Chains A and B, each alone.
Chain A
Amino acid sequence: MTDAATLAVELDVLAAKAGIAIQHDRREAILAGYQDVKRLAALLRTVEITPADEPANIYTFANIVRGA
């Protein structure tokens, strides 16, 4: 599948799982919004969360086992 087709399938699956119907005339705009949400989420995944960011070690597996 193309990226666009994959995105469309993802949207249908997630919408069905959430119990929301997507009207035909709104589908293109919601798909564009979903694409943007994925871009935002991917951007946030580029941020490394270090021990200095979470002295209590409550955020991530990696920080807790560091040095073990």
Chain B
Amino acid sequence: MTSKPLHDLSIAEAGRMIRAGSLTSSALTEASLARIAALDDVLASFITVTGERAMADAAAADADFAQGVDKGPLQGIPYGLKDIYMTAGIRSTCHSKLLVDNVPAEDCVVETKLKAAGGVLLGKLATHEFAFGGPSFDLPFPPARNPWNPDHITGGSSSGSGAAVAAGFCRMAMGSDTGGSIRGPAAYCGTVGLKPTYGLVSRRGIFPLSFTLDHAGPLTWSVEDCALTMQAIAGHDPEDPASADLPVPNFVADLGKGVEGMRIALPRCHYKDAVGLSPETAAAIEQAAATFEKLGATVEEIALPDYDLFNAAGRLILFSEAYAVHEKNLQTRPLDYGRLTHLRMVLGALISASDLTQAFRVRRKLSLLLNRDILGRYDAIITASALAPAPRFDEMPQGNPPNWPIQTIPYNLTGNPAMSIPTGFSKSGLPLSMQIVGRPFEDATVLRMGQAFEAATGLTALRPALDLAKAA
């Protein structure tokens, strides 16, 4: 039994209580919906709350438990989906005027898997428009706000996912990550966010942004919850052309085994002179490296090719592929997009085929170098995620170029698993973060390292001080 409030329970803790008979999914779901009703008018993390559906899902989960049917760790657990995840019969807007009335006929594969695992869908979460724009006020729905301080952005594009997990509305929220859209909100909101290996989680039914860079993955409050979610959503999908036909690894088995003997690479060259790096972020990464060493790992500084090369290749590919997805609408109804989305998406029309091809050549070169030369010698890399704590809304650039102050895109380019994890807090009380990057399809190692770090630092105990008088 735990004395924690319901909104602080992890998936594992809630699951244990439900299975012990001291909690029901219905009670947990009702508390989640009440907390959303009390607090989300400020945070705007949800676009659509599916209250009736959630209570029906929860009742079904409870009925299954009563009959001895246990579908696994997510049974009876409330979660949310970024609104680019298509859901049958539930409006799926991509936070855009263009799809404001879009009600899909079919679920995306991830939702199908979460349903099959007995999860409870609380609703659809805010995003940057089509997972691409910025935090914008000219869209049909307001931008999500950071639970640690609502004057600050959540990061994006999985903005509502970060806010909802940090606020304790959901135990887990699904995001998507094309240049950092899971890891950015995780970094700014103080959650765990995993961009799995490219090909590990099906993207079928998730609105595309850049099909060679898009990844689907979870944001959670703890690493264990992230692993439990991955166990439910990973797997081959023959209809996703990028999906890997490999057995689903066990993401949970190695949690708790520590990092003793592991070799960790630290590419300070990528971030130490970067514009916008906060001294607190850099110091927290150094502290994290020291923590890993105390836990028995070896941490060595390494050199990588210039960050700007990763960024340049990633941005040209992202702009080109995003434009290809949206070309017709950008030609015929450009002003139905939010201003920032439009300003940035049209850039894809201006890139030559030859330049795009060079971006793919460089991508291949960088991927080989990273995986053969670096991860051939090291088990993982630790590096910066966001370069500084979340900025205020009024500090966000409103034009081009879109210089995002995060260093996540290299691992979209290479497809390696990369997880953002909290490393502490700034003096202003906002979360700091780092990334742990692993070898392809060794996501379990990334999770193992993250769990060891999390256990050593105890950071999951700290939650945003929301107005609890208003909350359930």
A residues sitting closer than 8 Å to B (CB atoms) are 11, 14-15, 18-23, 26, 28-30, 32-34, 36-37, 40-41, 43-45, 47, 49, 53-54, 59-60
**Nearest neighbor of B311 in chain A, beta-carbon distance:** A40
**Nearest neighbor of B314 in chain A, beta-carbon distance:** A40
B365 within 8 A of A: yes
Q: Which of A15, A44, A54 contacts B355 (CB 8 A)?
A: A44
Instruction: Let me know if B368 and A53 touch, CB within 8 A.
Output: yes
Question: Contacts A26-B342, A44-B313; is A37 near B319 (CB within 8 Å)?
Answer: yes
B53 within 8 A of A: no
Chain B residues closer than 8 Å to A36, beta-carbon distance? 400-401
Instruction: Let me know if B355 and A41 touch, CB within 8 A.
Output: yes
Instruction: Let me know if B350 and A37 touch, CB within 8 A.
Output: yes
B295 within 8 A of A: no
Question: Contacts A20-B331, A33-B401, A40-B315; is A47 near B352 (CB within 8 Å)?
Answer: no
- Whole-angstrom CA separation of A27 from B411 in the bound complex: 32
Tell me the total A-B contact number using a CB cutoff of 8 A. 93
Q: Which of A28, A29, A41, A43 contacts B351 (CB 8 A)?
A: A41
How far, in Å, is B308 (CB) from chain A's closest CB?
6
**Nearest neighbor of B365 in chain A, beta-carbon distance:** A53
How far, in Å, is A6 (CB) from chain B's closest CB?
14
Of A19, A20, A28, most buried by chain B (CB within 10 Å of CB) is A20
Chain A residues closer than 8 Å to B319, beta-carbon distance? 37
Chain A residues closer than 8 Å to B311, beta-carbon distance? 40
Of A15, A34, A41, A53, most buried by chain B (CB within 10 Å of CB) is A41
Instruction: Let me know if B364 and A43 touch, CB within 8 A.
Output: no
**Nearest neighbor of A40 in chain B, beta-carbon distance:** B312
Instruction: Let me know if A29 and B343 touch, CB within 8 A.
Output: yes
- Whole-angstrom CA separation of A20 from B331 in the bound complex: 5
B113 within 8 A of A: no
Chain B residues closer than 8 Å to A43, beta-carbon distance? 308-309, 312
Question: Contacts A53-B364, A54-B364; is A20 near B334 (CB within 8 Å)?
Answer: yes
- Whole-angstrom CA separation of A60 from B343 in the bound complex: 33
- Whole-angstrom CA separation of A41 from B327 in the bound complex: 21
Please report whether the interface of chain A is mostly helix, strand, loop or mixed according to DSSP: helix
Q: Which of B309, B347, B359 contacts A33 (CB 8 A)?
A: B347
Chain B residues closer than 8 Å to A37, beta-carbon distance? 315-316, 319, 347, 350-351
**Nearest neighbor of A41 in chain B, beta-carbon distance:** B355
Q: Which of B331, B344, B351 contacts A19 (CB 8 A)?
A: B331
How far, in Å, is B341 (CB) from chain A's closest CB?
12
- Whole-angstrom CA separation of A41 from B351 in the bound complex: 8
How far, in Å, is B168 (CB) from chain A's closest CB?
38
B16 within 8 A of A: no
- Whole-angstrom CA separation of A53 from B368 in the bound complex: 8
B339 within 8 A of A: yes
Instruction: Let me know if A34 and B342 touch, CB within 8 A.
Output: no
Q: Which of A14, A32, A49 contacts B349 (CB 8 A)?
A: A14
B28 within 8 A of A: no
Question: Contacts A20-B334, A44-B313; is A33 near B358 (CB within 8 Å)?
Answer: no
How far, in Å, is B170 (CB) from chain A's closest CB?
35
Chain B residues closer than 8 Å to A47, beta-carbon distance? 309, 358, 361-362, 365
Chain B residues closer than 8 Å to A20, beta-carbon distance? 330-331, 334, 346, 349
Q: Which of B308, B309, B346 contacts A30 (CB 8 A)?
A: B346
**Nearest neighbor of B351 in chain A, beta-carbon distance:** A37
Q: Which of A23, A32, A54, A60 contacts B401 (CB 8 A)?
A: A32
Instruction: Let me know if B330 and A44 touch, CB within 8 A.
Output: no
Report B370-408 residues with CB < 8 Å from chain A CB.
Answer: 399-402
List 9 A-B pairs, minimum CB-CB distance, nearest first.
A33-B400, A36-B401, A18-B349, A29-B399, A40-B312, A41-B355, A32-B400, A53-B365, A19-B331
Q: Which of B312, B331, B343 contacts A26 (CB 8 A)?
A: B343
Report B244-266 residues with CB < 8 Å from chain A CB.
Answer: none
How far, in Å, is A33 (CB) from chain B's closest CB?
3
Chain A residues closer than 8 Å to B365, beta-carbon distance? 47, 49, 53
Instruction: Let me know if A33 and B343 touch, CB within 8 A.
Output: yes
B335 within 8 A of A: yes
Chain B residues closer than 8 Å to A22, beta-carbon distance? 346
Of B316, B339, B343, most buried by chain A (CB within 10 Å of CB) is B343
- Whole-angstrom CA separation of A30 from B402 in the bound complex: 11
Chain B residues closer than 8 Å to A28, beta-carbon distance? 399
Chain B residues closer than 8 Å to A32, beta-carbon distance? 399-401
- Whole-angstrom CA separation of A21 from B362 in the bound complex: 32
Chain A residues closer than 8 Å to B358, beta-carbon distance? 41, 44-45, 47
Instruction: Let me know if B350 and A34 touch, CB within 8 A.
Output: yes
Chain B residues closer than 8 Å to A21, beta-carbon distance? 334
Q: Which of A30, A40, A54 contacts B343 (CB 8 A)?
A: A30
